[in-house]
Amino acid sequence: MAISKVIKMIEIKHRCPPTIFSDIDGTIWKHEYDVRHSMNGTQRLLAGVFDSFLDWHRQGFKIILTTGRPESLREETERQLRELGIFYNQLVMDCGPGPRILINDIEERADETKFTPLSASEHALRSTRAKAQAVNLIRDEGMENLEINYTQEKDL
């Protein structure tokens, strides 16, 4: 199986829609190694990107775009996103080219721990729900093989 054909699937069950953090260059449209080339107005969305963003928007996801582009290119970047029909809530500029790390808390589920005697480590493992997940897409491959299934849970 070719690495680019691997399907990335995330199942999410929560009372609130998720927040998506997505890079721009190489994730939404083709990555150019010189940012001046990416400003020439020839960007085309990668496969599956428009449908993914439209679906997330319709489901009420919060979409935060991140980029290593400098703050001085904000207006041009916003114009490109608008012209390509990309829905988003926030745009975070000047993140730099290095790795990005998402840190989030976990929440306890009262229904799982109410009457179960557990050690502290067992309690931590069994009674928590990870709220942060990550997907690494192959640069310039698009989102055709990315699937995020969200089911809204009722409050516990």
How confident is residue 25, by pLDDT bands cut at 50, 70 and 90? very high
| pLDDT tens digits, 104-146 | 887 765 444 444 455 555 544 544 466 788 888 888 999 998 9
% of the chain with per-residue pLDDT over 90: 42
d(CA 134, CA 22) in angstroms, rounded, equals 10
pTM check: above 0.75: yes
Is pLDDT of 72 > 80? Answer: yes
The chain-wide mean pLDDT, for the chain, equals 82
Please give the Cα distance from 6 to 26 (Å, whole number): 17
What confidence tens digit (pLDDT) does each residue in 41-51 have? Answer: 678 899 999 99
Distance (Å, whole) CA 77 – CA 72: 10
Cα R_g (the chain), whole angstroms: 19
Q: Could you state, in order of their start, the residue ranges of all structural domains in the chain?
A: 7-101+133-147
Phi, psi (rounded to 5 degrees) for 77: -65, -45
Please give the CATH topology (third level) of the domain spanning 7-101+133-147.
Rossmann fold (3.40.50)
Is the pLDDT score of 38 beyond 70? no
